[in-house]
Structure 1
């Protein structure tokens, strides 16, 4: 540093000291804090002030909102509506829902079950003005008035009124009504005196929802999460999305409701009239273990509905409980996948009523499943008896069938023809054992839908299973087996072993030989790989069902005498000696005969085709 630089630095330092000593501004005097003004009608949960200073950004925003600019500033204040089922927090900025907690349920790791919050979920409504501006409710501030214990059509209710006044007799009003015992929140949107300001164009309702992980099995939760919607013409549909591949849908016809449905819970909006149209998107990332799916909805609300006091809707935040959902309008119970066609009716008319009846008297759901098995098995006893009787007849005829096979070891068609002739002579219908099994299929498939969707089993323990609604983990494997997983489900293993034992017992009474016999044992093992990650309640049901079937057959065996069956078949043989087969057996024999003739023609040498003369 040279001499001139040193002198310059000294002079600058002296000037700073003189300025700070004689000319520095006085510190501002501490202003007394204003006393909080208590509000008798609003219960604030927390406040976030927009600030008393009218910033340039706020001024620009108010200018951009035109006639609605004078309600674009204020103080955001949270208000809580609460009953025994729900705790709903709302924000006066926008008058929108901020958070929803289901009070009766917990997440898989025993944390509060937050179905909706501002971190992952948001709703908004936008509309267009006559001067072609787009206004969002989230840009506006409302005054809140909370009215407690008001009589409504659902009984006692809490009512929250959000009011934003532009001018005398010109205002936007939002009214939320929460009955004392409900998961349904009534919502009314009213634009009063705004016909000259609001354009006659549909309002846009937007809902973005990042479904939080609330269940133990993330994969199962994803598989059963959907964006469901119902049209005004009662046409139900949904989108689900796949790993890293979004799925979109656009519906150009009126819609009644839209539901963000998880495995056991739904958040939905239902219109009293209808939304004019909608567009939807479902997506998820395969590597994100904190989020189930992201569901996005855009719905159009007819402007005349909100301008004429008909903007009435309902929000549903609650469990996918069939007894609750069936009371809601427009087939809202279709949020629960009870199966297709006859399978859904079996669940509605048989399985669910019996299950709910047993719940009144038993609290242990393992016991309830056992009793449900016993009831269904007793209901199917006539079919089980008929099926066993058919197998007993086949067992009695086994020596004759084996003799036919030895007589024609290399001629399958001849063996089949003579076997069918034997059945006809003895008065045995080989299909009679299959028909009872086919008639039991609707119940089988109905239960495949019932157990994974039964919220009653959620977080209900039994024996070593901590939760009957998901797979039980009896032991963890140090590696992952393809299609099987990295855990051993003991209920699935017991189900598989009992199925193999049941198959072995049945094979002693049938004439199945060769590859078919091998496949009958292979099938239970293959099923084990499929259901290892299914609900423990389902595996336990089938295990108990196999055990009860063994007991049934042991009892039936006491009433079925092979000697009496043989005597009856011999009587039929004499009676049917000259009788020609008819019905199904005749058609089957004719088909076999025709196939044999075609095969004989193919084997016999034919005449060479003659050449055409040129």
Structure 2
């Protein structure tokens, strides 16, 4: 087998290993650290010296239309540049939230994303805040709160108040122009005996996400404890709750592009928990571990935050830095190559802001990466050229010492040394390309910035597969819409297959007939494999192939002997 073909196959095997096996293997042998779960009693987290929160969502007995449910309770409107919705004064829940800047589809009449919905609706999803303690009559899910205003905006906070027994409770709510709510919970003891209280927060969600949980893009429950992110599956917490004790951290639920997160005071020791409430309901909650004693006539205030919105990379990083939220950027599942992925994202985002077209930005990014890697490609070709020169001598040694493997190895090592040839030099440069290729793949898969971004002509969403296929005459054939999914091959993946075909044709043809058949068939296999992927990824690959063809043509002009069969 020719050396360059060996290198290509080794590279393909290594790339496949990195893409599909590395992270599952590492997660198996090096699982994320988590704090052992506290003991559970009757569905409650029992924390030493205090009764912790048991913020169980109420059971839904009848699913009703969202608009009907919203009209059944008194509410405070939410209106920001990014969000609209309302706060349910019954139970003091943030349970109605719409993302103004994101629609469900690319159609002009597509409704905006409804992230949160009240209990009683099909996809109930809400946040609630309260207290647990000793000698306290806590507000419950049926408590109706009084509001200081009618609308919560970035410029007008709203305070909710209620009185239960000998305690007065207050929740001060504010929101920024994006997706972060600030919550200040106050308890005032107006009784004659001391009390001890600790706040909690919860997110309740009915049903799993409709998004697919990929090993390269986590969808599901998520907690950050002691600086380590734990990406949990819904099935895992159905079997057993995931519990953590930490100072600094948060918990919530991830969709592919959306996130909810409870962020307790980052300086307080808290218990985080991810669990199933039964009947298809899941919950993330936190409770402050140390109850605060409040003397008669005194009050105590503790703060937390609640994030509900889009996983915009720049915004998330800003929250982490400005608000001091531990590992907040882990809501985007960057994985092992985050150190490479984030710089690539920021450069891609900068290009997009410059050219105003995400597809063009991907092309420019690909050109930049290939220019940076050109010295690597050139070194690889030089190595291939050197190996071609010594190949006749290698064959001669193989014939001479075919019955003495040990002697053959010694003579080949001597040949490499005499000719100053490194047989691994053709492979080593490929190792530099693997993390970059994988990082770009993850950036295009993970980041919301490519979602619903148009390119040209019929491509109106770079995050989705090519919607048209010539196999049904672009939708005009009688069998349009009836093709099996594996035959829905769009124009862009066909162009990808064609570009790979010409790239392989430009390579030196292998002498082995089996190798020839494999490399002749591979472009069309890759065409079918890549067809379900996002068009943005396919554009990257096509651009990369075209640049490779140009590089090969130029380098072959510098090393014409690479196109020739070696002598001997």
Q: TM-score, normalized by length of structure 1?
A: 0.66
Distance 1:516 1:409 in 2: 23
Show the counterpart of 2:272. 278
Task: From the superposition, tell whether residues 214 and 363 of structure 1 become closer, same or farther in structure 2 (CA, over 3 Å).
Answer: farther
- 8 A contact 1:176–1:185 mirrored in 2: yes
Show the counterpart of 2:476. none
User: Could you say what secondary structure the match of 1:353 adopts?
Assistant: helix
Task: From the superposition, tell whether residues 148 and 248 of structure 1 become closer, same or farther in structure 2 (CA, over 3 Å).
Answer: closer
**Cα deviation per residue 1:191-211 (whole Å; 9 max; x = unaligned)?**
112686785365553322136
State the 1:352 CA deviation.
1.8
**Cα deviation per residue 1:376-432 (whole Å; 9 max; x = unaligned)?**
111111111111111222334444445555667787777666554433332211111
Instruction: Mark the runs of 5 or more structure 1 residues left unpaired by the alignment.
Output: 1-74, 151-155, 286-292, 566-614
User: Could you say what secondary structure the match of 1:324 adopts?
Assistant: helix
Show the counterpart of 2:26. none
Distance 1:234 1:219 in 2: 23
User: Could you say what secondary structure the match of 1:146 adopts?
Assistant: coil
Show the counterpart of 1:138. 141
Show the counterpart of 1:472. 466
- 8 A contact 1:460–1:469 mirrored in 2: yes
State the 1:78 CA deviation.
1.0
Distance 2:466 2:388 in 1: 39
Show the counterpart of 1:551. 550
State the 1:537 CA deviation.
1.1
State the 1:107 CA deviation.
0.9
User: Could you say what secondary structure the match of 1:311 adopts?
Assistant: strand
Distance 2:93 2:409 in 1: 73
User: Could you say what secondary structure the match of 1:326 adopts?
Assistant: helix
**Cα deviation per residue 1:535-569 (whole Å; 9 max; x = unaligned)?**
22112211211111111222333444649x9xxxx
Instruction: Mark the runs of 5 or more structure 2 residues left unpaired by the alignment.
Output: 1-71, 320-324, 470-479
Task: Identify the match of residue 99 of structure 1 among 84, 92, 96.
Answer: 96
1:325 and 2:326 correspond: no
- 8 A contact 2:224–2:251 mirrored in 1: yes
Distance 1:473 1:446 in 2: 26
Count of residues in correspondence between the two structures = 465
Q: TM-score, normalized by length of structure 2?
A: 0.71
**Cα deviation per residue 1:58-97 (whole Å; 9 max; x = unaligned)?**
xxxxxxxxxxxxxxxxx94211121111113012222221
Q: Whose radius of gyration is greater, 1 or 2?
A: 1
State the 1:184 CA deviation.
0.9
State the 1:309 CA deviation.
3.4
Distance 1:305 1:250 in 2: 22
Distance 1:221 1:261 in 2: 13
Task: Identify the match of residue 187 of structure 2 among 184, 191, 214.
Answer: 191
Distance 2:240 2:363 in 1: 41
State the 1:114 CA deviation.
0.8
**Cα deviation per residue 1:483-527 (whole Å; 9 max; x = unaligned)?**
xx453244344334433543443444xx78576666666666665
Distance 1:478 1:410 in 2: 60
> Which residues of 2 match residues 168-317 of structure 1 at below 5 A?
170-179=167-176, 181-193=177-189, 200=196, 202-210=198-206, 224-231=218-225, 233-241=226-234, 248-254=241-247, 256-273=249-266, 274=268, 276-281=270-275, 295-302=282-289, 304=291, 309-317=300-308
CA-based RMSD of the aligned residues comes to 3.9
1:449 and 2:436 correspond: no
Distance 1:512 1:408 in 2: 23
1:123 and 2:127 correspond: yes
**Greater relative contact order structure (CA < 8 Å, 6+ sep):** 2
